[in-house]
């Protein structure tokens, strides 16, 4: 099981960038390996937040739909997840509140791998970052 961070579809639909090419290469590899891709409602909220702040509905819709197409399982975010993120924030000051929430959700659903280009996840020893 691999948790997909919001930056994956954002790189996919965004401007040219080395991570964009990597995303394009990894998608068929992960699908052919039959990896189970998951995310949480928070990843969709991050896409919504970012592109609405930029007033960029075209990329909002493209990234949102790309994530929907990649990830058949979307975990809800619960109050317990928020509590877990709060606790994690004390141990991992390099993680943003959103990244702490991703780690908390991953812990609840038993996921130990994340596909993300955020280097802060490297600080969490229980998680393997795929990039």
pLDDT tens figures, 105-131: 999 999 999 999 999 999 999 999 998
CATH of domain 2-130: 3.40.50.1010
Q: What is the mean pLDDT of residues 44-64?
A: 97
- What's the angle, vertex CA 15, arms to CA 14 and CA 16, rounded to 5? 125
Contact, 114 vs 1, CB < 8 A? no
Q: How far apart are CA 101 and CA 8, in angstroms?
A: 17
pLDDT tens figures, 23-48: 999 999 998 899 999 999 999 999 99
pLDDT tens figures, 60-78: 999 999 999 999 999 999 9
For the chain, domain boundaries: 2-130
Predicted TM-score of the model (pTM): 0.94
Query: What six digits make up the tokens of 95?
Result: 């993680």
Q: How far apart are CA 83 and CA 86, in angstroms?
A: 5
Contact, 116 vs 129, CB < 8 A? yes
Q: Give the chain's mean pLDDT.
A: 96
Phi and psi (nearest 5°) for 73? Answer: -115, 120
């Amino acid at each position: 099981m691999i948790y997909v961070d919001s930056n994956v579809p954002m790189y996919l639909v965004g401007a040219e960038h080395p991570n964009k090419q990597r995303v394009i290469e990894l998608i068929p590899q992960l699908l052919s390996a039959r990896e189970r891709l998951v995310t949480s409602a928070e990843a969709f909220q991050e896409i919504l937040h970012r592109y609405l702040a930029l007033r960029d509905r075209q990329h909002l819709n493209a990234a949102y739909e790309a994530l929907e197409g990649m990830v058949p399982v979307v975990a809800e975010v619960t109050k317990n997840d928020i509590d877990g993120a709060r606790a994690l924030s004390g141990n991992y000051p390099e993680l943003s509140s959103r990244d702490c929430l991703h780690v908390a959700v991953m812990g609840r659903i038993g996921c130990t791998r994340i596909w993300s280009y955020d280097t802060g996840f490297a600080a969490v020893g229980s998680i393997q970052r795929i990039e």
